[in-house]
Structures are given as structure tokens and as C-alpha cells.
Chain A
Amino acid sequence: MRGWRFIPLLVLLAFVAAVTWRLSHPPDTRIQSKMSGKPVPGFVLTAALPGKPGLASTDLASGQPRLVNIFASWCVPCIAEAPLLVDLRKEGVAIDGIAIRDRQEDVAAFLARYGDPFARLGDDRDSRVQMAFGASGVPESFVVDGRGVIRFHHYGPITSTDLPVIRRALEEVK
């Protein structure tokens, strides 16, 4: 049984291989919502701004695809994303917003400065609806089809390279 003495070496090699693999392929820290494919969770949010209607789950089953954007005025990546949302709005995409833990005056200032693509804007001051959607931060976006079913989740800010994916997801649920 001379071969047994190599077992510790083999264990060490396996360990080094596992560590090397994990270092070269770090785990994905993005959190994908498990709500894709499920109906929008029931919720009613009051208006985040006086001049704009609030948002309820029933508003999302509107017969046409909608983009739900979870954002906050205090979130820096949301600033980078804002002009792209305005572009999508100009292309005719219906976009609703959910403002997380935010103040009215801050939301108003944010939209005045970076553009306002939102048809409706709900005020989620205790992150409850954010959690109900399975979103873990700001910004995140969801494509909801005309029957109110979540069909696509985008984690993090939408960048110009993400636009084709978002457009395709919207197109597919038409």
C-alpha cells in the first residue's frame, strides 16, 4: 500500500486547484430576483410627488409592457442611468418609478436635474415594495408584461450596453 502516502499530496493539489479556480472565477455577487415569471406582488404606494400619480400593482396590468425602475435620489449610479431612461421614454417605453427611502423635495430636484421619464411614481419609504419585488438595491429595473407578470429583471444601473437587452425584453412581451 505504498500509494497511500501520496494521498495528502493529492488533497493539497485538489485544494490548491479549487482555490486557484475560485480566485480566477470569483462568484457572481449580483442578486437575481426570483420574481421573474411571477405576477407583480400586490402593493399600493402613495405618490412620491404631488403632481404625479402614485403606483399600485393594478396599474402594472395595463395591457402594454412597462418598465418599473427602482431608484433613489441619493443613489449615485441612478444618475448615470437617468439619461438612458429618458431615451427609452422618448422611444415610447412606458416607465414607472419606485423611489426608495426618499424625500419629496429630493426626488423633485433629482427629476428636474436628470430628467423625468416616469408616468407614475410611488413612494416606498420603508423599502417594503423593493423587497416584495426581490430587489436588493438601487437602481434595479423590471420588465412587466401587459397582464402584470414580471418577465425580466435587470440588476444595477442600465448602461448603454444593456439597452439592446432591455429593448428585446420589452419587445418579447408585447
Chain B
Amino acid sequence: MSAGTKNSVLPERSRGTKPSAAEAVFSTLLERVSRLRSTRTGWVLAFVLLVTSPAFADSPLPPSHWANRQLPDPRQEARAQALMQELRCLVCQGQSIADSDADLAGDMRALVRERIAAGDSPAAIRAWLIERYGDWVTFRPPVQPLTWPLWAAPILLLAAGAWIVRGRLKR
């Protein structure tokens, strides 16, 4: 979809700049909606698009100092990185805080780096967060009665596989 199309609802871009893929997708969406606008579906769709924006807003403040900056000590940074890979972002939920761009994930990375730099162990930081958000906040589930099936399942499946293979070989 080129920027100058007749029914484009986006303002015409200055010549020479190519719209990015995301911009192209967005403008296509907007055009589809604008064409539907006369119908009720169009209104409903426009409303849905309006209220389902993924983040309601972002903070105007810049990210925390240690959100996107490595610790000067490479060994400390490696420990912080390993922990950040295993902590769940509370905003994006499926992502780790190392991967997420959410404001809160940045502040959580800053928390991890500051406490590692201050000499705290990764286990203590993880425990601090689990105390507040539950086991859910870590991607490494603790071994406890409720999670035993999770840890036992691979072993049981392997044993079942071995048993089936043995039966086949005997025949």
C-alpha cells in the first residue's frame, strides 16, 4: 500500500521515505476500518481496535539507569543476565524480563542488576520476587509436591518408551 493512495487516511508522507512494515500494516488496517465505517461492523471494529491497544500507555520517564546498561563487572553481569532470563515479565506474561520492553520489565532488570552489584545472591532476589508475586514469576518451578508430576513426567515417558521398545525387540 503506497502512501499516496486515494483513500489513504494517513497523511501523505514526505517523498523518498519508505513506510516500514509495521506502518504499512497499520495503514492497511486503518483503511479497511475506514471503508467499513458506514456499517455497524465498521464501528464495532473501530471501537474494538481503540479499546484493545496492547498497552494503555507508557510512562514518559526514560528507562531506569540499569535497565538497559550492563554492569561493569562481567561476572556480575553474567549472573544478572542468567537470572533475568528466568524471571517472568509481569506485563507481557509470556516473556522473560530480559526480552521484554515493558517499563516494569526495565525496572525489574534494574532491580536485579542493582542487587547483584550490591552483593545479593540471585537466589535471594528470586525469593524476594516469589514472596510478592508467587512461584509464577519464575520460569524455573521449584520442586514441591504440586510440581512433582512436572519433573517426573520426562522420566516416566522415557521408561514407558523403553518398555515399548523392549517388547518390540523381543518379538
Contacts and interface: CB of A to CB of B under 8 A. Distances in A.
A34 B90 contact: no
A136 B102 CA distance: 11
A34 B133 contact: yes
B166 interface: no
Contact of B60 (A33, A74, A128): A74
Nearest to B53: A76
B61 interface: yes
Interface in B122-164: 129, 131-134, 136
Contacts, number: 63
A133 interface: yes
A35 B107 contact: no
A128 B133 contact: no
A59 interface: no
A126 interface: yes
A171 to B, nearest CB: 26
A154 to B, nearest CB: 16
A127 B133 contact: no
B83 to A, nearest CB: 15
A75 B56 contact: yes
B59 A136 contact: no
B93 A29 contact: yes
A106 B60 contact: yes
A74 B55 CA distance: 11
Given A72-B59, A101-B61, A136 B91 contact: yes
Contacts of A134: 132-133
Given A31-B90, A74-B60, A127-B103, A132 B132 contact: yes
Contact of A102 (B59, B91, B133): B59
A174 to B, nearest CB: 26
B71 interface: no
A74 B57 contact: yes
Contacts of B110: 126
A128 B93 CA distance: 19
Most buried by B among A33, A125, A130, A134: A134
Interface in A50-69: none
Contacts of B131: 34
Interface in B87-118: 90-91, 93, 103-104, 107-108, 110-111
Contacts of B12: none
Interface of A: 29, 31-35, 72, 74-77, 100-103, 106, 125-128, 130-134, 136-137
30 contacts: A29-B93, A31-B133, A33-B132, A34-B132, A72-B59, A74-B59, A75-B56, A75-B57, A100-B59, A101-B61, A101-B103, A101-B107, A103-B60, A103-B61, A125-B61, A126-B107, A126-B110, A128-B107, A128-B111, A130-B104, A131-B104, A131-B108, A131-B111, A131-B129, A132-B132, A133-B132, A134-B133, A136-B90, A136-B133, A137-B104
Lowest 5 CB-CB distances: which A-B pairs, in order? A134-B132, A101-B59, A136-B90, A127-B107, A76-B56
Interface of B: 56-61, 64, 90-91, 93, 103-104, 107-108, 110-111, 129, 131-134, 136
